[in-house]
Chain A
């Protein structure tokens, strides 16, 4: 029971490269946030400490989440490339098992 199947390996492969670039741009944001050292120059009053700690944790968690999502973007891009390659290989393999092709060349 197979449904319709159609694919264009070229556009999948092109999308893979683009997705990798999106992942890089996305990854740049948490890297930038971590470099800024947010919360480092608010002052030293003990009254602020709980909020400051909550803020620092929030930014850190945000950066971690963004990194994980950048990795997911990258994996999606990799998956597109793998899919394109698998389809091309499958097509080539299928081409080789057709006997008529062997005799024609």
Chain B
């Protein structure tokens, strides 16, 4: 919304300026960020199935190490996409608040304008009325600016900073100095990031033959970054690959739910119960890995 020219002049006359913000452009930028996210999620899905196909029938120490590493890399992609997804609503919130503040300021000035028009025809008394109304309007506009600034500084900027912090964490994880760890014999030296790094010794042993059964007997994490569908009640009859997939999905899902909760500042009972159930299922799978 553009400031009408006579309002701009009036604002100058009483010594305030109307908030200079193009909220449409702010909203457009928020849209650009959210438009980028589905692409990220689809690459993450594609990479996941590529990995599944490439390692089908690949078993042994190196295969397990590779799968462990993939959990980190692939999971990181999804977490970044989910975190980026939180930014647009915050920016849209800023656009609405800024636009509302601007409208409120203009409203004050429009009402001043109508008083001035009447007052200027009323001689000395009118001049007095006009002067006091100008002071009132100036105070009101300054109050609006103050409220806007405080609201943005206490709620919206910290929300963006939290997202930045999380993205930094994810970036550091992705770029971690992992070369040389893992299984250099198979991965080949050369100083690059080894895809076998980050393996957990206690789970690297004993990969039992899983067979080709990759059925969807349990739920999975969908594009919201949260686990939907049935949670496994037992790990019996689950292949290594399935266990790893569900473990990873649950871990990501719980993190996404926690992030949502932190951003929203509250959570409803159903959501809390679901998170509790997911934590339980995850604990069961982890325990199962430890027993091997």
Which positions 41-98 of chain A face chain B at CB distance < 8 Å? 41-45, 47-48, 50-51, 54-55, 57-59, 61-62, 64-66, 68-69, 71-73, 75-76, 78-80, 82-83, 85-87
Contact assessment for B58 and A76 in the assembled complex, using a CB-CB cutoff below 8 Å: no
Contact assessment for A36 and B32 in the assembled complex, using a CB-CB cutoff below 8 Å: yes
B77 within 8 A of A: yes
On chain B, the residues within 8 Å of A75 by CB distance are 192-195
Shortest Cβ distance from A48 into B: residue: B21
* Count of residues in A whose CB is under 8 Å from the partner chain: 58
Task: Give the interface of A toward B (CB within 8 A).
Answer: 2-8, 11-12, 14-16, 18-19, 22, 25-26, 28-29, 32-33, 36, 38-39, 41-45, 47-48, 50-51, 54-55, 57-59, 61-62, 64-66, 68-69, 71-73, 75-76, 78-80, 82-83, 85-87
A28 to B54, CA, bound (A): 24
B51 to chain A, nearest CB (A): 7
Contact assessment for A42 and B51 in the assembled complex, using a CB-CB cutoff below 8 Å: no
Knowing A15-B53, A41-B25, the reply to whether A6 touches B59 (Cβ < 8 A) is yes
A51 to B77, CA, bound (A): 26
On chain A, the residues within 8 Å of B149 by CB distance are 47
Shortest Cβ distance from A12 into B: residue: B54
A64 to B175, CA, bound (A): 10
Task: Give the interface of B toward A (CB within 8 A).
Answer: 19-22, 25-26, 29, 32-33, 36, 39-40, 43, 46-47, 50-51, 53-63, 66, 69-70, 73, 76-77, 80, 83-84, 87, 91, 94, 98, 145, 148-149, 152-153, 156-157, 160-161, 163-164, 167-168, 170-171, 174-175, 185-188, 190, 192-196, 205-207, 209
Between A50, A55, A61, A87, the greatest number of chain B beta carbons within 10 A of the residue's beta carbon is seen for: A55
7 A-B pairs with least C-beta separation: A15-B54, A79-B195, A65-B171, A5-B60, A82-B188, A45-B20, A68-B174
Shortest Cβ distance from B153 into A: residue: A50
Contact assessment for A58 and B167 in the assembled complex, using a CB-CB cutoff below 8 Å: yes
On chain B, the residues within 8 Å of A62 by CB distance are 33, 80, 83-84, 87, 167
Per a CB cutoff under 8 Å, which of A11, A16, A57, A86 touches B57? A11
Per a CB cutoff under 8 Å, which of B53, B59, B94 touches A51? B94
Knowing A5-B60, A75-B195, the reply to whether A58 touches B160 (Cβ < 8 A) is yes
A8 to B214, CA, bound (A): 19
Shortest Cβ distance from A26 into B: residue: B43
Knowing A11-B57, A41-B22, A82-B188, the reply to whether A69 touches B76 (Cβ < 8 A) is yes
Shortest Cβ distance from A27 into B: residue: B43
Per a CB cutoff under 8 Å, which of A22, A38, A48 touches B50? A22
On chain B, the residues within 8 Å of A57 by CB distance are 164
Contact assessment for B36 and A33 in the assembled complex, using a CB-CB cutoff below 8 Å: yes
Apart from A33-B32, A61-B171, A69-B73: 5 A-B pairs, beta carbons within 8 A: A55-B91, A65-B167, A75-B193, A83-B187, A85-B188
A65 to chain B, nearest CB (A): 3
